[in-house]
Amino acid sequence: MSKIYYTLTDEAPMLATHSFLPIVKAFAQSANIEIEVPDISLAGRILANFPEYLSEDQRIPDALASLGELAQKPEANIIKLPNISASVPQLEEAIAELQKGGYAVPNYTSEPETAEETAINGKYAKVLGSAVNPVLREGNSDRRAPKAVKDYAKAHPHRMGVWNSDSKTSVAHMESGDFYGTETSTTVDKPGQFRIVFYGNDGSEQVLKDFAPLKAGEVIDSSVMHLAQLKAFVGQAIDEAKEKDVLLSAHLKATMMKISDPIIFGAIVETYFKDVFERYASTFKELDINPNFGLATLYEKIKGHPKEAEVKADIEKTIENGPRISMVNSDKGITNFHVSSDVIVDASMAALVRGGGRMWNLEGKEEDTVCVIPDRTYAGFYEAIIGDMKQNGTVDPTTFGSVPNVGLMAQKAEEYGSHDKTFQIRGEGKVKVEDETGNVLLEQNVGNGDIFRMCQAKDDPIKDWVELAVRRARLSDTPAIFWLDKDRAHDSQIIKKVEKYLQDEDLDGLDIRIMDVKDAVLETLRRAREGKDTISVTGNVLRDYITDMFPILELGTSAKMLSIVPLMNGGSLFETGAGGSAPKHIQQFLEVGYLRWDSLGEFLALQASFEFLAQSTGNEKAGILADSLDKANARFLETNKSPARKVGQIGNRGSHFYLAMYWAESLANQTKDAELAEEFAPVAKALKDNQERINEELIGAQGAPQDIGGYYHPDPAKTYAAMRPSATLNAIIDGIGQSSTARP
């Protein structure tokens, strides 16, 4: 039997899975395809890492580790939905919920003091931040907008904010002392080992990372963010926003860059509230308040303290004296500085560009803002886009071209694989990356509180990335641009490899260029405004940023992208578009029983997964499922059955119903397999005949609070009940493949 692995994740995608998965399983079994559902949710990852704290019946297998092994095999066929890349506050919330539910998992301690606490934190480090993606991404990324999705966006353009040439919105970044300015890079000649050691000026020596393997040909980098220069820069950005009389906003990725960016976030919070942190230093030390965790944790820990009112009043006074802080939720008073994971740069900056350069203030009104993106490595990307928008105005989705992406990400390439090589330094001295003979490969001068980071990019993934870019350019007859800055140390090494591996390719008739990031942005935008497509070929982080920015401009959302990862050993990973795990959507569902999550990304990934299965195993029925689902997806878009925005209208569950109906009709009408047509003809008829009743049942379930038994670790029975409220639809779907006529 063929098998597809459909991951169970978190928040809105998790809810959608409980509605859509029964449909997927019912249709797949007709082609003798088994759907396995590995739990890689935040709660699932926690439980899998602490079996010794659990009773026998509470223990679960380490699904992520198993999927990681599978991703290196040719039979891998994995559909990966968005998951929580946990910040420390999210981790602590999940732990508390599990403990309340009777799971005796240990607490997380931000500053462990004992060997036991250190060991516990080592396990939680496997759960924090981007724990999932580096494990599964054993291939490079091929992400693009399907033609049906692009055509729909052109015919039904989304709302775009107006850009004015006098907009005060700008990007503030460091001019020195950041990762970009301090980066050093080299290419390893032969296989060996490396370790990272801190040598203090006081003669001390600390091994930060013990020996780990190096492969011949891989590119390694080191860089430092100097804390003192970071804080000085933040002070200047605060002054700039106040002088311009605009909002101040911070844009980081504390979820993926789980070591460095929470520290940078904390430096921003601590600098903005400098007087508050100095005035209440002893109180904050007593309460173990860490600025890296933001205002939300501060408010939580100060609650009930004799100085609570005084501290809150001084925080409000600081905000009143300006500059004003942009808001995550104006109604609830949640600022940009509340939680590091609330504002994720790729999504927040794309939304800002689409919205005309503005963010929300405390009154729920839009204002210009100074966007704090400290590190110049990628700040220039956003700076160039904002400059283009000011000069040329907002884009027109009805004529805008498409920007597919081929991204280097296999085998933990670049920054997203740096977590086990990123450290905040205590003391002054040097950090050296040494090989097994003591030879110094990379070296950085560091001060107390500085953030040191080392990254790796292996040679085989780089070669595969170049080959994939050329293949995509040829298949789609589209120009491709490698976004690589010759003045960045890492990129200069990558450029040499790209130029070398391009010589091995047949480039006849192809337009393939290498350009600095700022130039690539402007050239890609120029072409897109003319309605022309351009493939962006980028490193790991830019892949993330680009595949939010351009789809949000093109389609209004990044969740409708087709994201395929051809795994290097022959399998495939299908990601369901960007967009995160959508905490706001699950909150709305819990409050009023309405889920706005758009599952089109899942539909697209599933179609590609069936197609791959047919090609790799010769399962002809899988190919027919894929073709029929492709037609159903197109019809789904044509009839606009995506979730609306308000209670009483079509929601996520209704979308799944219409997709199932269109899919069944397509299967019933196809002529390649009479058995499948005969099986799905009564299903299609039952769904169509009961359309009104099913809609009434689905919409009738809206409007009331929902109990799913937990946020991070919901009860499956309660969640299925909440997400499958139509008895009529359930009877039809559950009857597929049975001896009944699939009627309720």
pLDDT value for 580: 59
Contact predicate 576/608, CB 8 Å: no
Task: Tell me the per-residue pLDDT of 620-664, one tens digit each, with 9 for 90 and over.
Answer: 999 999 999 999 999 999 999 999 988 999 999 999 999 999 999
Q: What is the pLDDT of residues 163-197, one digit of tens each?
A: 999 999 999 999 999 999 999 999 999 999 999 99
Provide the pLDDT confidence category of residue 744 given band limits of 50, 70 and 90: very low
- Residue type present at position 569: N
For residues 705 and 592, the answer to whether their CB atoms sit within 8 Å is yes
How far is it, in rounded angstroms, from Cα 582 to Cα 342? 10
SS (H, E, C) 58-72: HCCCCHHHHHHHHCC
Question: CA-CA distances (angstroms) from residue 123 to 49, 50, 92, 95, 128?
Answer: 7, 8, 14, 13, 9
Residue 107 pLDDT greater than 90, yes or no: yes
Buried b (16+ CB within 10 A) or exposed e, 599-624: bbbbbbbbbbbbbbbbebeebebbbb
How far the first Cα of the chain sits from its last, in Å, is 29
Let me know the angle formed at the C-alpha of 51 by 573 and 104, rounded to the nearest 5 degrees. Answer: 120
Contact (CB, 8 A) for 370 and 272: no
The string of DSSP codes covering 12-70 is: HHHHHHHHHHHHHHHHHHTTTEEEE--B-SHHHHHHHH-GGGS-GGG----HHHHHHHH
What confidence tens digit (pLDDT) does each residue in 673-704 have? 999 999 999 999 999 999 999 999 999 999 99
Residue 10's SS3 state is coil
Question: Does the pLDDT value for residue 14 go beyond 80?
Answer: yes
Local structure of 80: helix, strand or coil:
strand
Higher-confidence residue: 112 or 539?
A: 539
**Cis geometry, peptide bond prior to residue 643 (ω within 30 degrees of 0):** no
Tokens of 662: 């269109």
Task: Give me the pLDDT at residue 30, please.
Answer: 95
For 485-498, how does the pLDDT look when each residue is reduced to its tens digit (9 = 90+)?
Answer: 999 999 999 999 99
Share of the chain above pLDDT 70, in %: 99
User: Tokens 């960016």, residue?
Assistant: 261
Q: 737 in the Ramachandran plot: left (φ > 0), alpha (ψ -120 to 50) or beta?
A: left
**Percentage of the chain lying above the pLDDT 90 cut:** 87
Is it the case that residue 382 has pLDDT exceeding 90?
Answer: yes
pLDDT at site 129 = 78
| pTM (two decimals) | 0.87
Half-sphere exposure of 190 (CA within 13 A, CB side): 4
Check the CA dihedral 155-161-163-164 and report its sign.
positive
CA–CA distance from 305 to each of 115, 273, 300, 316 (Å)? 31, 19, 10, 17
What was the pLDDT predicted at 639? Answer: 93
Q: Is 360 helix (H, G, I), strand (E, B) or coil?
A: strand
Locus of tokens 């997964």: 609
What is the per-residue pLDDT for 742? 40
Q: Angle at Cα 464 formed by Cα 462 and Cα 470, nearest 5°?
A: 105
How far CA 632 is from CA of 288, 486, 628, in Å, comes to 54, 46, 6
* pLDDT over 70 (residue 740): no
Q: Are the C-beta atoms of residues 54 and 104 closer than 8 Å to each other?
A: yes
Give the SS3 label for residue 138: coil
How high does pLDDT run on average in the chain?
94
- Asked if 720 and 650 count as a contact pair (C-beta separation under 8 A), the reply is no
Q: Which pLDDT belongs to residue 81? A: 92
Residue 41 is which amino acid? Answer: S
> Which amino acid appears at position 382 of this protein?
Y
Torsions phi, psi for 312 (to 5 deg): -60, -40
> Does pLDDT of 483 surpass 60?
yes
How many alpha carbons fall within 13 Å on the CB side of residue 274? 10
**Cβ 374 vs Cβ 174: under 8 Å:** yes
Q: Is the pLDDT reported for residue 472 higher than 90?
A: yes
Is the pLDDT at 63 greater than 60? The verdict is: yes
Token pair for residue 461? 């993934």
Burial tier of 312 (Cβ tally within 10 Å: 0-12, 13-18, 19+): middle
Q: What does 174-198 look like in DSSP terms, one character per residue? A: -SSSSHHHH-EEEE--S-EEEEEEE
pLDDT at 741 (0 to 100): 41
Alpha-carbon distance of 84 to 132, in angstroms, equals 9
Inform me whether the pLDDT recorded for 359 exceeds 50. yes
Closest by alpha carbon to 105, among 42, 173, 152? Answer: 42
Using the predicted structure, report yes or no on whether residue 125 has a pLDDT greater than 90. Answer: no
The pLDDT of residue 577 is 62
Helix pair 11-29, 716-723: axis angle to 10 deg:
80
Cα–Cα distance measured from residue 573 to residue 40, given in angstroms and rounded to the nearest whole number: 15
Q: State residue 743's pLDDT score.
A: 37
